[in-house]
Amino acid sequence: MNLKLNIWRQKDSNDKGGFKTYQVSDVSPDMSFLEMIDVLNEDLVKKGEEPVHFDHDCREGICGTCSMVINGRPHGPKQGITTCQLHMRSFSDGDEITIEPWRARAFPVIKDLIVDRSAFDRIIQAGGFVSVNTGGAPDANSIPIAKEVANEAMDAAQCIGCGACVAACKNASAMLFTSAKISQLALLPQGKLERQRRVEKMIWQMEAEGFGACTNTGACEAECPKEISLVHIARAHREYIAAKACSKNV
């Protein structure tokens, strides 16, 4: 396969940046998308040019670092996968592919396709915790949890924090990510003690980071590689309203 790539190049967060066009030849349809960029970078290095900088780690759809918008869609044209799981057989010979970073004020560009997603870390740090009581606390495995509840908590816990929800949202909202983290703790008995304080702190931090408001368009759910449900956003709203009601009554 021969492809034309329009790739966003940006030296740092202060640089204006812009698209640069590259040609890649003899691309195997069995290559992953990241392997294709590796081939491009090898060619650029041989020519004495600076390679395209992009995030990656596990290349197994687990870590969520391979964040890039491909032809206008976070992680590319396929549903339920990350960029590293996207294979070149999803494209055709002669295709023109546009590759750019996440676009959100809360995700400033570090270089080329790499953005700073530490805002997600601060949201988790704001409220992603459970109490650990010393003494005669019962073993966690001895606490009965309904299978339906455990399954829903695990569905929320699948969120890998890649930021595709933010990139897909017209408002750059982080509500799907934040609500998934709220759900996975609020649903389980170990996380219920701080549920009111947690939801208030996490929502406050999300807003402080500069993410936009959620208007329930559903783009986040459609582009999430782990297919996290909008149900968790509804739960987060209920948790937040209940927390505010309780704080007013105290």
CATH at 133: 1.10.1060.10
Same domain flag for 163 and 218: yes
Same domain flag for 77 and 148: no
Q: Are 34 and 84 in contact (CB under 8 A)?
A: yes
Same domain flag for 104 and 167: no
For every one of its 250 residues, what pLDDT tens digit does the chain have, with 9 covering 90 and above? 999 999 999 999 999 999 999 999 999 999 999 999 999 999 999 999 999 999 999 999 999 999 999 999 999 999 999 999 999 999 999 999 999 999 999 999 999 999 999 999 999 999 877 776 656 666 666 778 889 999 999 999 999 999 999 999 999 999 999 999 999 888 988 788 888 999 999 999 999 999 999 999 999 999 999 999 999 999 999 999 999 888 765 4
Buried b (16+ CB within 10 A) or exposed e, 235-245: bbbebbeebee
Question: What pLDDT, on a 0 to 100 scale, did the predictor assign at position 55?
Answer: 95
Of 171, 180, 30, the C-alpha closest to 91 is 30
Contacts 24+ apart (CB under 8 A), 95-98: 95/1, 95/3, 95/4, 96/3, 96/4, 96/5, 96/6, 97/3, 97/4, 97/5, 97/6, 97/70, 97/71, 98/6, 98/7, 98/19, 98/70, 98/71, 98/72
Q: How many residues does the chain have?
A: 250
Same domain flag for 104 and 139: no
Same domain flag for 136 and 173: yes
How far apart, in whole angstroms, are the C-alpha atoms of residue 237 and residue 92? 43
Same domain flag for 104 and 121: no
Domain count, the chain: 2
How far apart, in whole angstroms, are the C-alpha atoms of residue 244 and residue 248? 6
Same domain flag for 45 and 78: yes
| Boundary residue ending a domain (64, 88, 111) | 111
Local structure of 150: helix, strand or coil? helix
